[in-house]
Amino acid sequence: MVRLFLTLSPAISRLNIYPRISLLATYHHSLRLQKHHKLKTETPTSSSISPSSSSNLQRKHFYSTGTRISCLTKSEISKFDDNLVVLGIETSCDDTAAAVVRGNGEILSQVISSQAELLAQFGGVAPKQAEEAHSRVIDKVVQDALDRANLTEKDLSAVAVTIGPGLSLCLRVGVRKARSVAGKFNLPIVGVHHMEAHALVARLVEQELSFPFMALLISGGHNILVLAHKLGQYTQLGTTVDDAIGEAFDKTAKWLGLDMRRSGGPAVEELALEGDAKSVKFNVPMKHHKDCNFSYAGLKTQVRLAIEAKEIDAKCPLSSATKEDRKNRADIAASFQQVAVLHLEEKCERAIDWALKLEPSIKHVVVSGGVASNQCVRLRLNNIVENKKLKLVCPPPSLCTDNGVMVAWTGLEHFRVGRYDPPPPAKEPEDFVYDLRPRWPLGEEYAQGRSEARSMRTARIHPSLTSIIRADSLQQQTQT
């Protein structure tokens, strides 16, 4: 078995996301799950399934395509799912994170090593330094995640890892680690889209959240509105034409001389509580664009000019500022936050109308990504969503900022429907080229939502996750 894997692996071991199911991996994996199931069902209850029935179920499941899975009853699938345990690894930007999550959504462990000190030192993410920081801690972070879950690699069903979008140098560290664990312990591997993970973690938090739903994903590098039709299938309703809101929070914090060690957003949010949000007049971006796109570069410039006008010295820490200086800084923080969130509200409101036209059955709007930790963002978007008679699902802050749980959970969601790669070889060649997707759209752009304001750099953009999955399902259909 092992020899066969080693022979086949060079041809199949690129981290191709979601290839058709390998029977070899399937067979091997059903054995592992059988073992795992035994481990987890020491005290059988009337509702538990016996290892042998579980193994049949598993084999059926893993040999199946997504459509055939529906032959199983809901309770069979959920019993089966509960026994899956996935390790998730995230290194796409400046946080090294790992977590272990069970199929029933139980978070067995969650570990994050943040690069906040570096962020404070460089005033932003420096790719080379970030890569070195990931490399220094990745082994420990993964080991800690396993230890805290009270598990070893042998208990895992699969390894999930972010393969994009993000910084190539950083993504590589996580992918290399994931492949080394998966190779050594013969585990299937799932390549995860970072933004899909931000959206799907909401399904771990809110069990009622089913497809289709709308999502606003807001972080340091992304500002996107998507309609989630099905797992892996998204329509992009809007995106940013320049900067994301998190970048604007971070720069505002830096220019205001705030402590960046928890990243800029929380520092601005805290200072804004002391300020008057009406004191500085900032223009709301893209007021006259009747689409769902965003722009934060202009607002950033307005903030910088306001800071210069008040002669605020970023080198003088807030703790040493005079009373008047502190008040000026707080007013700018509050006014900036007010307009930054107003821009989100306006676009989100329009996007809900569009989403309801395309998918009238949607009931939920997910708001996730680092900026969704902000209380003002949560409160105000909740009002917008409730006015449209929908329900807001906002993961807790620890699951909004980058984390391993969202990667493990998204890995689980795809793994369940058979989208995974077979285990890589135990020892990968030195010159192995990893499949990393630094620029990787989540879904296809909604035609009505295209912005002329955006300069589309199309070079080295990967096909979207949605188009890859659609092409793969089509191929499967023609083969059956």
Comparing CB distances to ligand ADP, the nearer of 251 and 416 is 251
Q: Which does 346 bind (CB under 5 to 8 A by kind): Mg ion, ligand ADP, none?
A: none
- For residue 265, state whether it binds ligand ADP (rule: CB under 6 A): yes
* CA distance linking residue 267 with residue 260, whole number of Å: 7
Q: In what order do the strands lie in the sheet with 223-230?
A: 391-393, 364-368, 213-218, 223-230, 233-238, 444-445
**What stretches of 313-396 show up as alpha helix (H) in DSSP?**
323-358, 375-387
What 8-state DSSP symbol labels residue 21? Answer: P
Question: How many CB atoms neighbour CB 108 within 10 A?
Answer: 20
Q: Which does 263 bind (CB under 5 to 8 A by kind): ligand ADP, Mg ion, none?
A: ligand ADP
- For residue 165, state whether it binds ligand ADP (rule: CB under 6 A): no
Q: What is the b/e burial string over 231-251, where b = at least 16 CB atoms within 10 angstroms of the residue's CB?
A: bbbbbbbbbbbbbbbbbbbbb
Comparing CB distances to ligand ADP, the nearer of 131 and 250 is 250
* CA distance linking residue 283 with residue 286, whole number of Å: 9
- For residue 369, state whether it binds ligand ADP (rule: CB under 6 A): yes
Q: Which does 373 bind (CB under 5 to 8 A by kind): Mg ion, ligand ADP, none?
A: ligand ADP
Comparing CB distances to Mg ion, the nearer of 411 and 425 is 411
Q: Which does 246 bind (CB under 5 to 8 A by kind): Mg ion, ligand ADP, none?
A: ligand ADP
Task: Please state the closest distance from residue 458 (CB atom) to Mg ion, in A.
Answer: 23
- For residue 269, state whether it binds ligand ADP (rule: CB under 6 A): yes
- For residue 402, state whether it binds ligand ADP (rule: CB under 6 A): yes
Comparing CB distances to ligand ADP, the nearer of 5 and 440 is 440
Q: What is the b/e burial string over 346-383, where b = at least 16 CB atoms within 10 angstroms of the residue's CB?
A: bbbebbbebbbebbeebebbbbbbbbbbbebbbebbee
Contact residue for ligand ADP among 88, 212, 220, 285 (CB under 6 A): 220
Question: How many CB atoms neighbour CB 286 within 10 A?
Answer: 21
φ/ψ of residue 180, rounded to 5? -70, -40
Region of residue 311 (left: phi > 0; alpha: psi -120 to 50; beta: else): left
- For residue 90, state whether it binds Mg ion (rule: CB under 5 A): no
Comparing CB distances to ligand ADP, the nearer of 26 and 252 is 252
Size of the site for ligand ADP (CB under 6 A): 19
Q: Measuring CA to CA, which residue among 349, 350, 331 is closest to residue 268?
A: 331
- For residue 272, state whether it binds ligand ADP (rule: CB under 6 A): no
Q: Where are the beta strands (DSSP E) in 196-309?
A: 213-218, 223-230, 233-238
Binding marks (x or -) toward ligand ADP, 124..143, rule CB under 6 A? --------------------
Sign of the alpha-carbon torsion through 476, 164, 216, 408 = positive
Task: Please state the closest distance from residue 119 (CB atom) to Mg ion, in A.
Answer: 14
- For residue 371, state whether it binds ligand ADP (rule: CB under 6 A): yes
Sign of the alpha-carbon torsion through 140, 146, 147, 149 = positive
- For residue 370, state whether it binds ligand ADP (rule: CB under 6 A): yes
**Binding to Mg ion in span 388-407, by CB under 5 A:** 402
- For residue 266, state whether it binds ligand ADP (rule: CB under 6 A): yes
Residue span binding Mg ion (CB under 5 A) among the ranges 218-226, 229-237, 278-286, 330-338: 218-226
Q: What is the b/e burial string over 454-463, where b = at least 16 CB atoms within 10 angstroms of the residue's CB?
A: eeeeeeeebe
Task: Please state the closest distance from residue 76 (CB atom) to ligand ADP, in A.
Answer: 36
Q: In Å, what is the CA distance from 45 to each residue of 77, 106, 161?
A: 17, 19, 34
Task: Please state the closest distance from residue 194 (CB atom) to Mg ion, in A.
Answer: 6
User: What's the count of helices (H) and strands (E) in the chain, helices before strands?
Assistant: 17, 11
- For residue 219, state whether it binds Mg ion (rule: CB under 5 A): yes
Residue span binding ligand ADP (CB under 6 A) among the ranges 9-17, 181-189, 242-250, 304-312: 242-250
The pair of three-digit structure tokens given for residue 212, joined into one six-digit string: 């289709």
Please confirm whether the linkage preceding 212 is cis (ω < 30° from 0): yes
Task: Please state the closest distance from residue 449 (CB atom) to Mg ion, in A.
Answer: 22
- For residue 425, state whether it binds ligand ADP (rule: CB under 6 A): no
Q: Which does 473 bind (CB under 5 to 8 A by kind): Mg ion, ligand ADP, none?
A: none
Residues forming the site for ligand ADP (CB under 6 A): 93, 219-221, 246, 249-250, 263-266, 269, 369-371, 373-374, 401-402
